[in-house]
Amino acid sequence: MRIDKWLKVSRILKRRTISQELAKNERVEINGKAVKPSHEVKIGDEVSVRFGSRKLTVRVCSIEDVKRKQEAAELYEVIREEIVPTEQSSAEMDEIRV
């Protein structure tokens, strides 16, 4: 299954177009490598998604074309969730230091 569709089916992201945009802007990684929206995801892959100042890393447990909202969390296991500095906040911190 394509990564953009899997992110939508798993309810990590609400819309497929959003997952496509994130992948095009190199904010979606599979096993540590930035991927395009059409990249195939497999069971056992580690998927990292960076949106805003958050980075969510999950392990793919299942791949299904359709999943009910209540059961969507069964498709993945959260490995870690972290706050990462955005490019803008890094620039602001540099100005404060000067």
The CATH number covering residue 33 comes to 3.10.290.10
Cα separation, 96 vs 98, in Å, equals: 6
pLDDT tens track for 15-43: 999 999 999 999 999 999 999 999 999 99
Query: CB count, 10 Å around CB of 63?
Result: 17
**The pLDDT of residue 98:** 45
Using pLDDT thresholds of 50, 70 and 90, give the confidence band for residue 79: very high
Q: Which of 97, 78, 81, 80 is nearest to 89 (CA)?
A: 97
Confidence at residue 87, expressed as pLDDT on a 0 to 100 scale = 63
d(CA 34, CA 92): 26
Query: Is residue 34 within a helix (H) or strand (E), and if so which, with residue range?
Result: strand 33-34
Give the total number of structural domains in the chain. 1
**pTM of the shown model:** 0.82
Q: Supply the range of the domain harboring residue 43.
A: 3-97
